Amino acid sequence: MENEKIIYTIGHSTLTNEEFIKLLKGNKIQTLVDVRTVPYSKWTPQFNRQNLSFDLRLQGIKYEWRGNNLGGKGINVNFEGSIDELAERCQNEIIVLMCSEADYKKCHRYQLISPNLEKLGVKVKHITSKGNLIVDKQIIRQVMSLF
């Protein structure tokens, strides 16, 4: 029997490194996929690509930067192929997509990536900064707005 397809999303916002890693570990995240087009922040340097990659590795969490494929700004290379790949991988790997925006509804994780994953049967769960999980089916909301 095929495993349920689930992908998590999270926005780092102004969380501390400790708070952020606690949220990841609390959801048993194995791989963090950074979907920021520019993986740097002058306000929260703990989330700069090199710093985050190093800190996650120490915690046993893999880091991937995919902002060139799944970013919210600029042109994405092989967007559809990257969505297909994540939909396949999430059957056997616990993945979180990370951007900087805390409110998932204001982020391309919700507006662009989630509907495309949902079309492939992936359940998208958004991790809030308080540790809550929200399942908000964007694709269903779009269809219902037509009526």
Please determine, for residue 115, whether its predicted confidence score (pLDDT) is greater than 60: yes
* pLDDT of 145: 54
On average, the pLDDT of the chain sits at: 92
pLDDT, tens only, 20-64? 999 999 999 999 999 999 999 889 999 999 999 999 999 999 999
* pLDDT of 3: 72
CA angle centred on 109, ends 7 and 89, rounded to 5° = 30
* pLDDT of 1: 34
Of the pLDDT bands very low, low, confident and very high (cuts 50, 70, 90), residue 139 is low
User: Which domains can be identified in the chain, with CATH numbers?
Assistant: 6-144 (3.40.1010)
DSSP string, the chain: -PPPPEEEEEE-TT--HHHHHHHHHHTT--EEEE--SS---SS-GGGSHHHHHHHHHHTT-EEEE-HHHH-SSSPPSSHHHHHHHHHHHTTTS-EEEEES-SSGGGSHIIIIIHHHHHTTT-EEEEEPTTS-EE---HHHHHHHTT-
Nearest-angstrom CA–CA distance, 41 and 110: 21
Nearest-angstrom CA–CA distance, 23 and 117: 22
- Pairing between strand 95-99 and 123-127? unpaired
Q: Report the pLDDT averaged over residues 3-28.
A: 95
Global confidence as pTM = 0.91
Here the tokens at position 19 are 């708070």
